[in-house]
Amino acid sequence: MRIAWIGKKSPFCGNVTYSREITNALLDRGHQVSFLHFAQEESEPDNWPNFQEVSLPFIYKSQVYTIPTFKATKVLTQSLRQIKPDVVHASLTLSPLDFVLPEICEQLSLPLIATFHTPFAGKGAKLISGTQLLAYQLYAPFLVNYDRVIVFSQIQRELLARMGVREENIAVIPNGVDTSKYSPGTSKVKAEFKAERLFVYQGRIAPEKNIEALLRAWKQSEMGTDSKLLIVGDGPLKPSLEPFYGWEYGIIWLGFVANEDRRIEILRGADVFILPSLVEGLSLSLLEAMACGLACLATDVGADGEVLEKEAGIVLNTKTVRSQLRTLLPVCQDHPELTTLLGQKARQRVLDRYTLSKNVTQLEELYKEVLTQRPLPLSRRA
């Protein structure tokens, strides 16, 4: 099958990881993949497959959104006309191009599928961030024009359906992890940081991640010199937080770690993973930590609470994160048998529900379903 994938290669975020892992897996299964993305000046990220690439010109891009040039629409249209894919799959980048894609694909008679990553608060809750609410309200009328929209949980499916997207056109395909790569294993990270117990946060250092609640809870818990908290990631709040939560409290700021093997080494050496976010989609960082056998504590936002339900981890309430962590951090420190058991259950949950292999199989089935319902023109059939 020929697939035109529209997504991100930088700057690093969950959308980038999603595009890299899925396109790698599709190529491994014999599909032809062309990758269309906004051109970059940065050094090439690691572990990207060797495929045909098309660079789309842009004015500005960040982890959150991208502003293309006026020329980008023309470049995209011409590229799709030349590639002649069977399916176009857009891993939506929060860009104005997301809104014109249905019109372009309709003109070219190309089936169009979207993966909608925008995070949300959780069960029965209003979207905490006005920006996130606006994104759902803004996208819903345009998602109606996609042949299928992929989301990560039933909760997200219901939310979009309430906003007018036809429920039968919304497919729930959770994120998946390569469990042979992300797995328990040996690591020298504890020795490196002189820690007997190692806790990890991995993600953006941004307001929606609520990391200050974790930092305050850690500081107030007085965890002692043998326990360390690694902060892996970068973002706008890092300069204002790092000076107040440093080595003297056992907090180590590693910044953004580009090398995937190093990130896996960190996870394999850790005991507990903590994600105190106020909004999420389905966190790949959480799934990666679970696959590596860490005990995981995460808030009940997006689909994260669903991932950890029924004793696969500890689900936190967004309203009381700091007080809960003040209690739980010392418990996790003092009871390694508890964190070992939680880590085993977390790993098993990923094996049961969230493997990359299952994710890609569901995706292939969705492509076939869409093609069956919307046959290709005779001129483009094999």
Give the CA distances from residue 137 to residues 140, 275, 310, in Å, rounded to whole numbers and listed in that order: 6, 26, 32
Run of H or E including 130: helix 130-143
Per-residue pLDDT of the chain (382 residues), as tens digits, is 999 999 888 777 778 889 989 999 999 999 999 999 986 655 555 566 667 899 999 998 887 778 889 999 999 999 999 999 999 999 988 889 999 999 999 999 999 999 998 777 655 444 444 556 677 888 999 999 999 999 988 888 888 998 999 999 999 999 999 999 999 999 999 999 999 999 999 999 999 999 999 999 999 999 999 999 999 999 999 999 999 999 999 999 999 998 999 999 999 999 999 999 998 888 999 999 999 999 999 999 888 999 999 999 999 999 999 999 999 999 999 999 999 999 999 999 999 999 999 999 999 999 999 999 875 543 444 4
**DSSP letter, residue 219:** H
* Cα–Cα distance, 295 to 274 (Å, whole number): 9
What pLDDT, on the 0 to 100 scale, is given for residue 127?
A: 45
Give the CA distances from residue 251 to residues 44, 145, 245, 254, 278, in Å, rounded to whole numbers and listed in that order: 30, 47, 6, 10, 22
What pLDDT, on the 0 to 100 scale, is given for residue 41?
A: 52
What pLDDT, on the 0 to 100 scale, is given for residue 217?
A: 98
What pLDDT, on the 0 to 100 scale, is given for residue 46?
A: 57
Strands (E), the chain: 2-7, 32-38, 52-56, 58-61, 66-68, 87-91, 112-115, 148-151, 170-172, 197-202, 227-232, 251-255, 272-275, 295-299, 314-316
* Cα–Cα distance, 208 to 230 (Å, whole number): 19
What pLDDT, on the 0 to 100 scale, is given for residue 129?
A: 47
What pLDDT, on the 0 to 100 scale, is given for residue 153?
A: 85
* Cα–Cα distance, 262 to 8 (Å, whole number): 22
Contact 253, 231 (CB under 8 A): yes
CA atoms within 13 A of residue 121's CA, in its CB half-sphere: 14
